[in-house]
Chain A
């Protein structure tokens, strides 16, 4: 769907982006992760030509972006950014209707789409007549998302979309974001410096350092098969949390106790270790029932879970 081929960009004497290449499959979420100044935002902005690359090619659906009128190109690419950039002199409804108006949509169509969308984004309808400054930061970010999604573009670019929000709001919006049907279908490139956010939302992560790609892979690959010290060190601080979040019951299935006969309610094996631990902590009893795809059920307690996890981890590292 999106293909970057050896993209480079210099600002003055600084090489901001150096021969970056990657592919994003249709419907996939790729997160560009790195410290500030690593070139991730520059890379993102070259996709919709807010910045023009010095060298290399960018293809969307096999078509070179430089062959297209940038204004037409951008209308087909949703864009969400940290500072949101809502028009302060437009109401929320007018802000959301910007692209439909440019595409000359029927007013009624715009209105019904807007209504449906803000409901999914948990924005009360009364906000439509308000101006951006009357909304909270979290609400504004939802409006920014609605503005980018209203015309249903196949591609969505997000530049630190949750960066300006406080931790609580960020976590809840991230959850909604993951659950939003509209976003599942989209090909998304997202920039963040927040490792947890990247692991939470990414299908694959592209780790950048000093304008160069360090490693591209699934969160699991980045965690358990880092290709060098840069990749390893980048995740070091939060490694345990990340591992708990990335590894699921299915992964450690063979290290868990023997299966049992159980007819009651059980959790799926898709549950991450983190989620399993949270469930155990909340439950009255100290046993959690999990079932895999073939409906075999196992019972685990906290000790069994951590033991199995450690075994799995050792196995990964010796692979």
Chain B
């Protein structure tokens, strides 16, 4: 435990520059959006307090916006606002709106009617009543709304890293992808502290008595604006092309680190979520992205893989990994899962992914069509001799594989199946397996090697050249360390790949990563 804390401290001090800039970005994002949310929400709240008929509609719409999952909202924004700060700020603004509008509204309508009547009877104009009576008296309630909005924003701003807007989410989600607890904590602890500190500060403002509050009202906007200014909009592009890499890719030897050390690639890079990266490349927000070689969106968005001519991306052959105990408990399981072995090639997998990601077919349907075409499909036996728990990570390919395995197990054995799909990342999936929450999930040899085993770099590099060696190494190590068995590979290799829009790659005559480096050096 002591060692763990020390390494966390080491991580944080080692990354202090990044941590500092991410924290500033985080505060900046929170407060820019908060400022805008106040600028929109306060007048709206005042409006619906005046015209009560509108209140149901406005609060309803704000409430609905609030329920949109944040990552989906960010996704909707990309076609309109691109990636980076703008869509992040708009998304945060939307989440902050409801508490501000609602509290302004309830604050104002909650004021003693006689006070308002007295104000009018003394000849105060409507704006005087608003500024001298309604707003000051509603202020504690309005501030409570702003406080809620601030805490919400600190939380949601971690997701801004998905669309290249920076913030502490870079560490958190990078850490989850890379199975790096220190990195997760390095982002999560400052984010939590930020929320606590801001909440405490705002509660102080809220508790001030009305008289002091009147003075504080002038200071408050200044402070919010100043904090908002922390967020320098993403700096000017350092190179002619822009790359968007996932947080996971950023931290990996077989990712950005390898691109730098092996190829000497220098490109302006922003961190972005896998969920929106392809769309951003297609929308010309990004030029180079770190995709997966079997991703269906490759086909959908007409992207082209740049050849890895110096072999930095190790093979990522997919295979189910199963707990040894589960194999004992379900004797038929191994045989059944191996039915799929060698059946799915790269192009088949890309096509299956294309159907779900782009044609929006259901994974069940795609899985069933595939099994029928291979003559493997059997109707479910509705067995009840125990339940096999299948896990999957949170992307399309894994959903399809989980469905295929589910159908195979139901069709060929008397076991029942429960699926736990959409587990956040490698770490979450693997922890679920180790802790007996699931029985197996499809994993990739490269991930097993570099993320889960993390051997020293020399062995890693050595292994990475050869797919057989990698498979043998991870099989042996997993058996030894985790009592987990790698079954036979499914066939396809879903490795990392750099990709560009086909048109651009042709126009610039960039076909390999070395070509890309040379092009960047010249321009």
Interface residues of A (CB under 8 A from B): 48, 50, 70-77, 79, 81, 83-89, 98-99, 102, 147, 157
Given A81-B114, A102-B128: A87 touches B119 (CB 8 Å cut-off) = yes
Cross-chain contact of A81 among B117, B123, B124 (Cβ < 8 A) = B117
List chain A residues, Cβ under 8 A from B117.
50, 81, 85
List chain A residues, Cβ under 8 A from B119.
85, 87
> How far apart are the CA atoms of A3 and B261 in the complex, in Å?
94
List chain A residues, Cβ under 8 A from B116.
85
B123/A102 in contact, CB under 8 A: yes
> How far apart are the CA atoms of A75 and B122 in the complex, in Å?
6
The interface on chain B, measured as residues whose beta carbon lies within 8 A of the other chain's beta carbons, has a size of 21
Chain A min CB distance to B317 (Å) = 71
B122/A98 in contact, CB under 8 A: yes
List chain B residues, Cβ under 8 A from A48.
121
> How far apart are the CA atoms of A84 and B118 in the complex, in Å?
7
> How far apart are the CA atoms of A73 and B214 in the complex, in Å?
29
Cross-chain contact of B121 among A50, A72, A86, A88 (Cβ < 8 A) = A50
Cross-chain contact of B122 among A83, A84, A89, A99 (Cβ < 8 A) = A99
Chain B min CB distance to A42 (Å) = 13
> How far apart are the CA atoms of A75 and B119 in the complex, in Å?
11
**Interface check B52, CB cutoff 8 A:** no
A147/B122 in contact, CB under 8 A: yes
B122/A73 in contact, CB under 8 A: no
> How far apart are the CA atoms of A77 and B124 in the complex, in Å?
12
Chain A min CB distance to B205 (Å) = 15
Interface residues of B (CB under 8 A from A): 112, 114-125, 128, 132-133, 136-137, 210-211, 214
For residue A157, which residue of chain B has the nearest CB? B121
Chain B min CB distance to A188 (Å) = 15
Cross-chain contact of B114 among A70, A76, A85, A98 (Cβ < 8 A) = A85
A74/B120 in contact, CB under 8 A: yes
Cross-chain contact of A89 among B118, B128, B136 (Cβ < 8 A) = B136
For residue A70, which residue of chain B has the nearest CB? B123
List chain A residues, Cβ under 8 A from B132.
87
List chain B residues, Cβ under 8 A from A86.
115, 118
List chain A residues, Cβ under 8 A from B137.
88-89
For residue A79, which residue of chain B has the nearest CB? B121
> How far apart are the CA atoms of A293 and B124 in the complex, in Å?
49
For residue B133, which residue of chain A has the nearest CB? A87
Given A48-B121, A79-B121: A85 touches B115 (CB 8 Å cut-off) = yes
Q: Which 4 residue pairs across A and B have the least CB separation, nearest first?
A: A85-B118, A74-B123, A75-B123, A83-B114
Given A71-B125, A102-B128: A87 touches B120 (CB 8 Å cut-off) = no
List chain B residues, Cβ under 8 A from A71.
123-125
Given A71-B125, A102-B128: A88 touches B115 (CB 8 Å cut-off) = yes
> How far apart are the CA atoms of A76 and B121 in the complex, in Å?
10
12 sample A-B contacts, Cβ–Cβ < 8 Å, listed by A number: A73-B123, A75-B122, A76-B123, A79-B118, A81-B114, A83-B112, A85-B114, A88-B112, A89-B137, A89-B210, A99-B122, A102-B128
Chain A min CB distance to B111 (Å) = 9
> How far apart are the CA atoms of A72 and B210 in the complex, in Å?
29
> How far apart are the CA atoms of A74 and B123 in the complex, in Å?
5
> How far apart are the CA atoms of A226 and B210 in the complex, in Å?
54
> How far apart are the CA atoms of A86 and B119 in the complex, in Å?
9
List chain B residues, Cβ under 8 A from A99.
122-123
List chain B residues, Cβ under 8 A from A81.
114, 117-118, 121
List chain B residues, Cβ under 8 A from A98.
122, 124
Chain A min CB distance to B188 (Å) = 41
Given A81-B114, A84-B114: A89 touches B120 (CB 8 Å cut-off) = no
Chain B min CB distance to A291 (Å) = 46
List chain B residues, Cβ under 8 A from A50.
117, 120-121
> How far apart are the CA atoms of A99 and B119 in the complex, in Å?
10
Chain A min CB distance to B211 (Å) = 7
